[in-house]
Structure 1
């Protein structure tokens, strides 16, 4: 049992309890696939026996995010556990996990359930990625681990023979039961870790650090103090030096292609029902991708905060005659999963005008595309909102995820809050997500714990949103290999189309914020944002603002915030859809000094012109982000989505041409025009014990505790 620092007043339901097993070599492909099969059977979806037990137990709030198979080290590790528990529940949680494993060993595994796990493995292996990370490089990284362990990496590129062997083995319902018995129940290479909260741990650590520093400083003689000062001066001088720009070969402006990369062609089809289809072909290696795109309904102020929860539950509940567990089994057997997301955008000409769509996304192997179509439509039009305990579980899981977002994405939360008054889209997002959304979710979770009638109100809100969504106009996207679309096109002819089209345009809105806000929460570091109202993406100054961000980061903020200030990261960025320009820091030990450094960076770039080479480096970074390749399917979906949001090829070509025309004088001009002190909005997420320092600096105090 170990402790972790907690700065909140409440310690109840804050313990993390996890069991872990060491499973042997990760470079043995056959063994690794068997362990993946075990993990999938136990944890693949909400109906999997171990995940269901961990999510539904009254001993904890949710399954641990660590659950699953870790295969990135020399040996495989399987983990299972919970979060939101109590130290006294550790034995009961361990018993619960072992009982589930014993039940699997006793009853065996249905071959159909095992086949659905192999289906997921096959789909993941077949899919050609590349939207976030170059596909070829990801393949090489996968091969690196076995290569470093003197194993043959090439079999990883073709796992079909091993999958076929496993398909034969799983016909024996006790094949997987034997693996579970050997590698989990009888495996003594296991550990249980309980991580409990300790409210005084942070204070003790700070006191210990202060005492250690006092002891060290008391032992330093005059010569040692002089040496330390000299080293500090030398370090400061080195950090201030400009690197020799000609020391290495570099890419230049002349290397930028004159035009955007070629885009895949797409087609548009219309049906007698009024349904519209966007169709694109790509080499998908036997997969199809489908999207149901719906106009975003206009929701009133009481429903809008529930929109993120609605998006997260739509694909996690039952539909038609099926409860959520049966539904999850079908989805796992036939698809790569469903998800509901949003696509939102700001008008290129006016930040007060914005629009949004909801997008139900699914993918499957080609042989399952008819089942995918049916499941997506059923999930949308026959959604069941009559499973209250499941909805309660999902709400608690979302609350935990959002709690974790402060540590992982605190700078994004601070920037979103700071921009809330700068555009309709920024206000719309801030009203449902961000810091306001997190506070709303925490408040509702506390009320739900005290009064079960709150759950009825949540369900009513979800029902109202769902009815609004169903009344909106729809269109469909399909991406796959040529010749595979006939089955899908035949099915589409009978799909219903709402008679009343929705309003795509979001209502104009803004959220007024204080000039300086400090949000107090459980954190040991700060997340700082200083934001300025800017221009929409189609404005003539948008290109110069895009280049101003990397220039501020490279010339000033990286050295001031990270190298000298000790923050994990920081920078500056122009967010076109928010019509805002942000300076930010991430996991920062300071906030006063950081805000001072923000202003010094702005003054620096206004009064000292960047060189042409520095401007060129910023240009190359922005163009590279625009030109990075996508996956085959992702490229088609980008074209289809760009047509929805007005970010088509013509718009992006104009943006590219504008970037190529920006001069150093343009960058200095927009910095002086838009980054004015009296226009700034400052938001800092900080520990509660810094409240007085924030007040002394004139911050309005808000709380997430």
Structure 2
């Protein structure tokens, strides 16, 4: 029997859940269960991982824990289980003060299979020395020269390419100097080689004791059954209690401090400086304090009408910083505000502007309706099942509550903010309340002022420091140490060459899988022409107004991307942009404009401009008015506002190139093969760089701005020339009420809905590009044109992608040191692609791509590996989406002609796939000569594997748009 005792239950109506809490009477381990009727069951195990160095020990331990355990002494059981389970999510995360191991599955048997593997990984990892060398770091001798390799090392070298990583860490490290938060939790590549295997094992023994653990689960499975399995897998629960580890609090300062911080930049242009102000606030576990801080952000910076954001945008220099708002990833909250895009001489002006504006708001306050809208938005976010990327809703809720459970807060506050919001409801009517929040921020002396300096030599300096350390090490390298490095390399290579004994791991077989395709929600067309999908959206109603622009020429594509980016921040009708921002805020908690693309069965491309809004049930009239007015009355005549928005978009696009290397490489490789990828390469990839450079030049003159505004106004007229399709999602009554409002004759005009032909697939020569973008690691991509899912070869290619991912993991990650490697068949975009991420190699990676292709086309394929690949392909088909995204997918499938029969046939073909079919499809579609290649290249001087070098900085300066 388990020793967990029930300590309380709490219903959370907004989540349609009950939170149940348990404590193990022997060890003190906690179990928190979120009981729901959701299809998925989820689990996580969390531990405090407190740091005093940036050597990456918590991050490397996360990798090693999933690299083999006492019960499952298998190489890389985590990656093996990705292919042997129906998990809808598997991951582990290292945060600033904690590590979480998490998974979700829709299959009960699979859930307990994964639970066994995860529990053994956490409490009984083998922590093998050779795994440490592979996943963490190791010295290698390459042509007699000492070098470094390791998966985490490569991952963090890639992370350093993101200027926001350097900025946030530099600010947090100074604010929390003397605490573990001053360390980089992912690890600094310059410090990682200071970690030894012995130090790592000691760190695990201290931090992964059962008395430190918090177990969390969600779904329909009874918590007692989960507790029985925990008790069986973790006998150390009986070993008694240890004092809980708590992260230290930051020392309070008596006066504000200042620092200068260098961050990576494409160049050292004068306009690349910035100023960041950051305050340490109260503990994150204080629900009322946290909601009050969220209210402070909304009142100051929530939209263009908010006083601090308005002042920063109207300054005439710079723009609001991207690092802004409330950071709750640590035990204490941090409030960020700042400006970027500054000349060095304007940094002090930016500081004076921020502080003087805060003084003004502390005296004048903000209007009560603004605060009421902010509270409504907090309630909306509590219910919203989307917004978490690929992380399921239940796991997002568990992760939100985990730090409270670890560090002594009330875990219920992580699930239910209603009590805190009720208190704030009563307080925001007092004009002095918000003024007091601003005054407390101004009077808080624990404030850091950071002058952010762009450093065009950032990567070169780090690479030089690493090479200098390696050269010094090699110069003093004794013969015995050289022999040990060579022996370690040989032992690791021999181990990596061994076939994994996967028989020890549990598995789901193709015969265990339901042969029926999961049904999609019904899409109903009402008499007025609008479409309705009923979905369990937690009391939220979603609307999408979709204008078909498939007929527009390719020259308009980058303009469409600019159009959707600026439109939500422009004026509407008689309202200028600030009045429009306040109006939007009052109307709905969510409003945006985006681009949807969907492939047609003939290989063409449907492109929609989507006006999207969402609100709580009862807000249907406001949503309909917001959408109709935004589509009909948007203003392009406020050229100063438009210039600000365009300049901001240009600067952020140019500054973000190095951090988006993996996407840039994949788009460049796939664009010649696919209409969808060509579109996105034109708006987000390398083809967009000259366009953004041209926009920057247009913004510099009144004539240029007049031309730009006229082009966007003409584009808006083209977009809205025909009536749109209207899709409403939510509970039956609310969705239908909104659909009727959107279908009214005066809502979007009486013109017929455009049924544009899908854009034809362009025929372009394959790419062969080495994109020189800066950094220390590479991102490699290789792609082929592939058939849609109706083709007989589609299922074999989907299974082939799963097989290739397994092979590439061994060659690129285990042996090559890349952070990630995968293959993908995309039947919608009609491409098959291979990719590596944060990769220290380039030519060697492409050689490994070719070797894997040869095995696929001509080798003997292992039957068990094929079965695993089939399970992986089916899992991708069955992964549940949030209700509103599932509804959108159903609508898009209907429009694209993806019928239930086609989906069922596709599933049956995957389940029945054979080795002969896989080999034949590979030989037909994946010929080496037909490949399109592109790599984002970090360090210069590498073997480019025969690819043509293209300097992205030079391309960004090209004179054409």
TM bucket, shorter chain: over 0.9
Alpha-carbon distance between aligned partners in 2 of 1:319 and 1:477, rounded to the nearest angstrom: 23
Counterparts of 1:141-180 in structure 2, within 5 Å, are 141-180=399-438
CA distance in 1 between counterparts of 2:335 and 2:609 reads 36
Match of 1:133 in 2: 391
Closer, same or farther in 2 for the Cα pair 1:269/1:518, shift >3 Å?
A: same
Among residues 246, 253, 273, which one is paired with 2:510 in the alignment? 253
Q: Distance in 1 between matches of 2:815 and 2:701?
A: 50
* Match status 1:115 vs 2:372: yes
Displacement of 1:450 in angstroms is: 4.2
Q: Which residue, 745, 751, 768 being the options, matches 1:516?
A: 768
For residues 290-369 of structure 1, what are the structure 2 equivalents within 5 Å?
290-348=543-601, 350-351=602-603, 353-369=604-620
Distance (whole Å) between structure 2 residues aligned to residue 606 and residue 87 of structure 1:
58
1:59 partnered with 2:59: no
Match of 1:100 among 357, 363, 367: 357
Deviations 1:288-346 (Å, cap 9, x if unpaired)?
Answer: 11111221152235433211011112222111111121111122122122122222222
Map of 2:628 onto structure 1: 377
Bigger mean CA offset, 250-259 vs 484-493: 484-493
In structure 2, the gaps of 5 or more residues are 1-259, 955-961
Contact 1:120 1:332 in 2 (8 A): no
Tell me, in whole angstroms, the C-alpha distance in 2 between the residues paired with 1:428 and 1:476: 24
Q: Does 1:658 align with 2:909?
A: yes
| Corresponding residue to 2:799 among 539, 542, 547 | 547
Q: 5+ unaligned residues in a row in structure 1: which ranges?
A: none
Q: 1:185 aligns with which of 428, 442, 449?
A: 442
CA RMSD of aligned residues (A): 2.3
1:624 is aligned to 2:875: yes
Assess, with a 3 A threshold, how the Cα gap between structure 1 residues 265 and 424 changes in structure 2: closer, same or farther.
Answer: closer
Report whether the alignment pairs 1:460 with 2:710.
Answer: yes
The alpha-carbon distance between structure 1 residues 327 and 649, as it changes in their structure 2 partners (threshold 3 A), is: farther
Select which of 305, 319, 324 maps to 1:47: 305
Greater shift, 124-133 or 675-684, is seen at: 124-133
**Alpha-carbon separation, structure 1, partners of 2:737 and 2:600:** 37
Given that 2:782 and 2:931 are in contact with CA atoms closer than 8 Å, whether structure 1 keeps it comes out as yes
Q: Kindly state the Cα deviation for residue 195 of structure 1 after the two structures are TM-superposed.
A: 2.6
Rounded to whole Å, the distance in 1 between the matches of 2:939 and 2:755 is 43
The answer to whether the Cα contact below 8 Å between 2:547 and 2:723 also exists between their aligned partners in 1 is yes
| d(CA) in 2 for partners of 1:686, 1:624 | 33
In 1, Cα distance between the equivalents of 2:397 and 2:938?
Answer: 42
2:533 maps to 280
Q: Displacement, 1:26?
A: 0.6
Q: Residue 296 of structure 2 aligns with which residue?
A: 38
Query: For each residue in 1:597-623, what CA deviation from the matched residue of structure 2 results, as whole angstroms up to 9, or x when unmatched?
Result: 211221233343332221222222222
**SS of aligned partner of 2:561:** helix
Mapped to 2, the partners of 1:32 and 1:98 lie a distance apart of: 22
Q: Quote how far apart the aligned CAs of 1:675 are.
A: 2.0
Find out whether 1:451 has 2:690 as its counterpart: no
Whether 2:469 is the aligned partner of 1:469: answer no
Indicate whether 1:534 and 2:786 are aligned.
Answer: yes
Name 1:699's counterpart in structure 2.
948
Report the more deviating stretch, 31-40 or 520-529: 520-529
* Inter-partner Cα distance in structure 1 for 2:919 and 2:769: 28
Q: CA deviation at 1:671?
A: 2.1
Residues 109 and 560 of structure 1, relative CA distance in 2, 3 Å threshold = same
CA distance in 1 between counterparts of 2:926 and 2:673 reads: 14
CA distance in structure 2 between the partners assigned to 1:429 and 1:214 by the alignment? 43
Asked if 2 retains the 8 angstrom alpha-carbon contact of 1:297 and 1:469, the reply is no
Secondary structure of the residue aligned to 2:568 is coil
Counterpart position of 1:244: 501
Per the alignment, residue 590 of structure 1 pairs with: 841
TM-score normalised over the length of structure 1: 0.93
How far is the alpha carbon of 1:114 from its aligned partner? 0.9
Q: Calculate the TM-score normalised by the size of structure 2.
A: 0.69
3-state secondary structure, aligned to 2:738: helix
Q: Name the residue aligned to 1:478.
A: 728
Name the SS of the counterpart of 2:277 in structure 1: strand
Aligned partners of 1:358 and 1:677: how far apart in 2?
A: 37
Alignment pair present for 1:90 and 2:347 = yes
- State which of 499, 512, 520 in structure 2 corresponds to 1:263: 520
For residues 5 and 160 of structure 1, the distance between their equivalents in structure 2, rounded to whole angstroms, comes to: 42
3-state SS of 1:432 partner: helix
Change (3 A) 1:47 1:649: farther
Q: Report the Cα offset of residue 57 of structure 1.
A: 2.9
- Corresponding residue for residue 575 of structure 1: 826
Q: Which moved more, 1:422-431 or 1:113-122?
A: 422-431
Preserved CA contact (<8 Å) 1:514 1:700: no
Q: Is the 8 A contact 1:267 1:279 kept in 2?
A: yes
Matched, 1:3 2:256: no
Of 267, 278, 287, 1:20 maps to 278
User: Match of 2:82?
Assistant: none
Where 1:66 maps in the other structure, the secondary structure is coil
1:38, 1:179 within 8 Å by CA — same for their partners in 2?
yes
Q: Larger RCO: Structure 1 or Structure 2 (Cα < 8 Å, ≥ 6 residues apart)?
A: 1
Q: Distance in 2 between matches of 1:201 and 1:703?
A: 17
* 1:358-398 C-alpha deviation (Å, 9 max, x unpaired): 22111011222101101100000111111112212221232
**From 795, 805, 817, the counterpart of 1:566:** 817
Selected match of 2:921 from 633, 652, 670 = 670
Instruction: Determine helix, strand or coil for the equivalent of 2:719.
Output: helix
After superposition, what is the alpha-carbon deviation per residue over 1:242-263, rounded to whole angstroms, capped at 9, x for unaligned? 2211112122212212212343
Contact 2:266–2:953 (8 Å) recurs in 1 = no
- Larger mean Cα displacement after TM superposition, 229-238 or 429-438: 429-438
- Do 2:727 and 2:739's aligned partners in 1 also have CA atoms closer than 8 Å? no
Does the C-alpha gap of structure 1 residues 266 and 675 become closer, same or farther in structure 2, counting only changes over 3 Å?
Answer: closer
State the Cα distance separating 1:700 from its structure 2 match: 5.0
Q: Aligned to 1:23, what secondary structure does the other structure show?
A: strand
Distance 1:152 1:74 in 2: 13
Shift, 1:500, TM fit: 4.8
